[in-house]
Amino acid sequence: MRIEEDLKLDFKDVLIRPKRSTLTSRSEVDISREYSFRNSGGKYRGIPIIAANMDTVGTYEMAQSLSALRLSTALHKHYDEASLIAFFKSQPPDATVFYSLGITGADYEKFRRVKNAAGDAIAYLCVDVANGYTKSFVDFIRKVRDAYPKVTMMAGNVVTGEMTEELILLGVDIVKVGIGPGSVCTTRKVAGVGYPQLSAIIECGDAAHGLGGLICSDGGCSSPGDLAKAFGGGADFIMLGGMLAGHDECHGEIEEHGGQSKLRFYGMSSRTAMEKYSGGVANYRASEGKEVLIDYRGPVEGTVQEILGGVRSACTYVGARRLKELSKRTTFIRVARQLNEVFGA
Ligand code: 5GP
């Protein structure tokens, strides 16, 4: 047993220090980014925020709405092949929509068939597992990269620099970073495993950027300020679940609870999801997600404007004319934890 004594930080442990700026208005800030991907050679331009591949949020409807706003979507894994083929074929060339898959043989065969039919319309892939440290995950990444050299591949999740480097050298373009921070994730409670998200971003970002790779911070953003901190810490993309839940574009029925309209939102390893897709929780495992009721919030566009407004505001506070400059101009201030957080008072 060993204890790491280094300080590790979450979003709530810091604030961004204001700096002198010549910007006079938030409207002067450009929050789009351009990337050339290290391994696929593909090019990207857009606002680097991605809807999570959860079945409530990573929907076709979400992809349509977010593409129009220049954001991206990782579709969930449970759509059937015919609809996926039709959807990808209908997309404009500048839409950034990720096909998501796990690492089973069935996942790979389904992807192969859909990709064969949809061709170059599928340019982005999201290989998604809860634990990106297994040999089977690494073997799968190698196999996909060998078979599809031109597909831009996002893969994870990991939280440490050395695994980020390994994945990039294996052919991943965007390493997905985050174990345990998700709003409906219970991994930290159930398994006691995780890593404070801001430190994971800083460490994995540093490792990826040194090799010309990129990272996507996945999970833990609950307000626009958290996105500003994630970008400030070095995230190239940010994936959002809970912040995009509760909208017209999400799957699920609107329910009335105490006079309030609500939508159900649940983790993809929750009992709800496992009962829906795997016939229940297998007897050798525990669910690592929970279900919550989220206020119904109408079309996603309003929420996106709020999020982007917050990120623009952060840029003006530190004098970053473009999102690209935000991390260079970010100094974090550590804040003392509130006693009531520590003691649960
Ligand atoms: P959020 O933006 O809601 O904080 O986090 C979304 C992320 O939580 C997803 O992209 C995914 O990585 C993670 N996640 C989704 N469902 C589950 C789950 O059931 N268990 C765990 N451990 N993580 C989940």
66-97 pLDDT tens trace: 999 999 999 999 999 999 999 999 999 899 99
* Residue 266 to residue 130: CA distance in whole angstroms: 15
Ligand 1 centroid – CA 58 distance (Å): 12
Nearest CA residue ID for atom 17, ligand 1: 267
Protein residue whose Cα sits closest to atom 23 of ligand 1 = 185
Q: What is the per-residue pLDDT across 120-141, written as a single tens digit (0 to 9) for each?
A: 999 999 999 999 999 999 999 9
For ligand 1, the distance from its centroid to the CA atom of residue 207, given in whole angstroms, is: 23
- Nearest-CA residue for atom 8 of ligand 1: 182
Q: Quick check: 338 pLDDT over 70?
A: no
CA of 170 to the centre of ligand 1 (A): 25
pLDDT of residue 222: 98
The one catalytic residue in 126, 185, 216, 221 is 185
- 126 has catalytic annotation: no
Residue 81 phi/psi, 5-degree rounding, is -60, -45
In this predicted structure, what is the pLDDT of residue 21?
87
Confidence of residue 345 (pLDDT cuts 50, 70, 90): very low
The continuous run of DSSP H or E covering 309 comes out as helix 300-318
Interval between CA 128 and ligand 1 midpoint (Å): 11
- Ligand 1: nearest atom to the Cα of 180: 22
Q: What percent of the chain has pLDDT over 90?
A: 91
Position 78, amino acid: H
| Atom of ligand 1 at shortest range from CA of 287 | 19
Q: Which atom of ligand 1 is nearest to the CA of 219?
A: 5
pLDDT-wise least confident of 72-76, 191-195, 276-280: 276-280
Closest C-alpha residue for ligand 1 atom 21: 185
Q: What is the pLDDT of residues 91-121, one digit of tens each?
A: 998 999 999 999 999 999 999 999 999 999 9
Q: What is the mean pLDDT of the segment spanning 211-224?
A: 98
- Give 305-317 pLDDT, tens digit per residue: 999 999 999 999 9
Report whether pLDDT(22) > 60.
Answer: yes
Distance 22 CA to ligand 1 centre (A): 38
CA distances from 176 to 103, 179, 237, 256 (A): 15, 10, 9, 36
Q: Which are the contacts of 140, defined by CB distance < 8 A and separation ≥ 6?
A: 103, 108, 127
H or E, element range at 210:
helix 197-210
CB-defined site of ligand 1, < 6 Å = 52, 54, 130, 178, 182-185, 187, 218-221, 239-243, 267-270, 288-289
Q: What per-residue string of b and e applies to 239-277 under the rule 16 or more CB within 10 Å gives b?
A: bbbbbbbbbebbbbeeeeeeeeebbbbbbbbbbbbbeee
By alpha-carbon position, which residue is closest to atom 10 of ligand 1? 52
pLDDT at residue 23, rounded to an integer: 86
pTM above threshold 0.75: yes
Q: Are 249 and 65 in contact (CB under 8 A)?
A: yes
Q: Take residue 74 and report the two structure tokens written for it.
A: 């990782």
State yes or no: pLDDT of 337 exceeds 80: no
Relative to the CA of 178, which ligand 1 atom is closest?
12
* Cβ–Cβ < 8 Å for 266, 290: yes
